[in-house]
Amino acid sequence: MEKARLTPFAREQATAKICMVSSFATEFIEIRAKEPSLHVLLIPGNPGIVAFYKDFVEELYENLGGQASITAIGHISHSQKDAEHGRLFSLHEQIDHKVDFIEQEFQHSEQSLVLVGHSIGAYICLEIFKILQKKVKLCVGLYPFLTLNKNSIKQSAIGYIARSSLLSKGVSSFVSFIGLLQASVTRSIVRRLLGPSWSVTAVEATCSHLLRYHTMRNVLFMAMAEFMKLSEEPDWNFISTKQDQIAFLFGVDDHWGPLAHLEKISKRAPGVALSVETEGHTHGYCCTEAGSFWVADYVANLIKIQVLTRN
């Protein structure tokens, strides 16, 4: 049962905005602290729609007591509007996009930078860390997708669809058709398909962003690139070298990041901070209030221990 949350003051609200990064329109949500000790940059999974993470960002800010500014950056064309006119972006291009943003935004900043990545966002964070090692203080992966799970039927099915241009176009057309229905009908269908546990925030993000042809095409195109790249083993040399600056949170029953991957990390890089969430949340933690709040508590405590107490 989800615990009641009683707070004496209204929670600080995340601000949504669109800015240009490397000439691409990019969606953000963020909360700026008045006197921050550090900056947390959240990299979403796939779909890379930052609106899904609104509850998480607000709760994380509150749990850090206003000591950190929090920014969530979306993937290019995982957006409400098709600003890039149907162009498809690969995993590599999405990584370069995030690196460009950090170099643009934090070039002259002396604040500690904490990277937090969800699912494939955890892999992206590690790639960013490799390039910008002097800027990153801590790299946190939430339900990380770091390498393919050959035992996952779901991954095989998604990979099959993503590799086919015809199937990808068909799926994208179908979801966009649902998105074109009357708003109340679309919302009712989404709520029925996704279940009652999904938050209002997640349902609205699905309706406004995910049910768009350009977004779904980019989701599947990026997934195709992910499955090709993640057929390789993780970069164990880098993870081992930076193990005291890396942390991963795994789920009990998560085919994207099974516990077998956690066991391999513990053997190859025993200094990595590894945790297992046993509260019954899912890989898509950000789609429920309970999941968003629990994971925000975990990340906040990790940052307090590994960054704020050492500054």
| Residue pLDDT, tens place only, 151-164 | 999 999 999 999 99
State the number of CA atoms in the 13 A half-sphere of 81 facing the CB: 7
What is the predicted pLDDT for the residue at 117?
Answer: 98
Interior CA angle at 73 toward 103 and 225, to 5°? 90
State the number of CA atoms in the 13 A half-sphere of 109 facing the CB: 17
* Whether the predicted pLDDT of 4 surpasses 50: no
When pLDDT is averaged across residues 242-251 and rounded to a whole number, the result is: 97
* Whether the predicted pLDDT of 87 surpasses 70: yes
When pLDDT is averaged across residues 109-137 and rounded to a whole number, the result is: 95
| Residue pLDDT, tens place only, 169-210 | 999 999 999 999 999 999 999 999 988 899 999 999 999 999
Cα 255 to Cα 232: distance, rounded to the nearest angstrom: 17
Q: Across all residues in the chain, what is the average pLDDT?
A: 94
- Bridge-based pairing of strands 112-118 and 136-142 is parallel
